[in-house]
Amino acid sequence: MSHSIIKSALKPLLLLAALFAFAVSAYTSANAANASSSDQSYSKVLKVAKKHLGASYVYGAVGPTHFDCSGFTKYVYNKSIKKSIPRTAQAQYNGTKKVSKSNIKKGDLVYFGGSKHSISHVGMYIGNGTMIDSQNRGVITEKVYSPWWHVVGFSRPATLSYDD
């Protein structure tokens, strides 16, 4: 067989191989995108948060048995959906997508303090005006709007899917 015959016979095979590689790549990318979005469910985030109810508060602690407020939210997001958020409450507010009070969803973070530039506490909204947070009584659920908290903002660290 001459060199030119082999070369012309290989062209369709190379084209077919390239198309196959493209199809496999597209299929893998689509499945990875679907897997990552379905892996970001509120139920996973809530499950990890509730698992730590009663854990004690320790300033600067990031879990898994002791938490401060932002250590708790950082831990919950990382362990549940592998989402890394900043360490402190102020940095979490500054580094995540802001949402309005009217657009708050379960799993969003609620910030407290003197102003948006002086945040001293963070909790995770769990619906019906309540949050789960780590404060001096440990990890508890409590009302967002309480006399001892001054809400200054809300953010959405991740777009979560909801089962309900």
Q: How many CB atoms lie within 10 A of CB 50?
A: 13
pLDDT digits (tens, 9 = 90+) for 145-162: 999 899 999 999 999 999
- Mean pLDDT, residues 116-125 taken together: 98
Cβ burial 14-27 (10 Å sphere, 16+ → b, else e): eeeeeeeeeeeeee
Is-contact 139 77, C-beta < 8 A? no
**pLDDT in the model for residue 76:** 98
- Name the residue among 20, 136, 12 with its Cα closest to residue 69: 136
pLDDT at residue 28 tops 60: no
Specify burial of residue 118 (Cβ count, 10 A radius: 0-12, 13-18, 19+).
Answer: exposed
Could you give the percent of the chain with pLDDT greater than 90?
74
pLDDT digits (tens, 9 = 90+) for 56-102: 999 999 999 999 999 999 999 999 999 999 999 999 999 999 999 99
Owner of token pair 């959906």: 81
Q: Tell how far CA 124 is from the center of its chain.
A: 11
Between CA 69 and CA 151 the distance in angstroms is 15
What pTM does this model have? 0.77
Among all residues, which ones are annotated catalytic?
A: 69, 121, 133
Longest dimension (CA), the chain: 89
DSSP code for 41: B
